[in-house]
Amino acid sequence: ARRTMMASVAGKQMPLLRSSASLIGAGVRRGGRVVYASPCAALRNDSFQDTSPRPGRRAVSTLILLRHGQSMWNGSNARFTGWCDIPLTVRGRVEAVAAGQLLRGRGFKASSVCVAFASELQRSHETCELALASMAGHEQETWSSERIRRDWRLNERHYGCVQGRFKNDPQLAEKYGSDTLMEWRRSMHGKPPPMDKSHEYYLPPPAPLTESLADCQTRVLSCFEDTIAPALFDEEGLPIPPDDRTIIVVAHSNTIRSLIAYFDDVPEDLVTEIYVPN
């Protein structure tokens, strides 16, 4: 069960956190490990690489990062979804269940999950519920939706004026250029022009008007420092001691990309190569 998923960075496989690493930030000084589970890879049963700790190493808290399953705006005709509250497809629900089965098969049962975090968007929350129920297997009494804590700071990165538009829209490419669109999507600091209140998908604050990945990372790390790290290491009253807790975060491509970049000190020129599939 001591395994972790690998992320694709610059065409190479790299661990999100090496087994000897610690979570640094938010005053955290105790050991931790990250497991990344991909819903679509769960269907192939190839989501983990063994990084078993050295013999005699003490137990550590475990943070599982899981992207939501396929939504109605993912796939071959994808849109800039951002903060639009788009539901899962049937395939996305199957992926969420498969991710939970894979985690259970690797020793992560629902009963070991003290807290699960999800964004305010339904595709994240539904994936979280389905994965936890699947991790419980026939022991459905071992999980409860009351363990899920929702936080808007885990919402997907906001795409400004292009939010809701098709990513392959030729009018966008003609207006802004393909290279600019790719920079907005993949780089750390590129961002689309902001939307205004007349935009079809405008939302009031705390929704931003546009974001770069760096902007998204700032609010995600704020959530990590305020709520996730304390649940991992400090919060009292949870059923499992801090040194052996499992916490799940079910979020979105760019919120997880920003966490990967932070945890693993990924250089900015390689951030464009971090891919988090559904």
Write down the catalytic residue from 68, 125, 158, 252.
Answer: 68
| pLDDT above 70 (res 85) | yes
What is the reported pLDDT for 239? 86
| pLDDT above 70 (res 48) | no
Average of per-residue pLDDT across 101-108? 93
CA pair distance 64, 103, nearest whole angstrom: 10
Q: In the numeric block, which tokens belong to residue 39?
A: 């819903």
Residue 156 is among the residues annotated as catalytic for this protein: yes
User: Regarding beta strands 6-9 and 3-4, do their DSSP bridges make them parallel or antiparallel, or are they unpaired?
Assistant: unpaired
Residue 158 is among the residues annotated as catalytic for this protein: no
What is the reported pLDDT for 185? 95
**pTM of structure:** 0.83
Residue range 194-211, pLDDT digits in tens: 999 999 999 999 999 999
Q: pLDDT exceeding 70 applies to what percent of the chain?
A: 79
Write down the catalytic residue from 125, 156, 158, 211.
Answer: 156
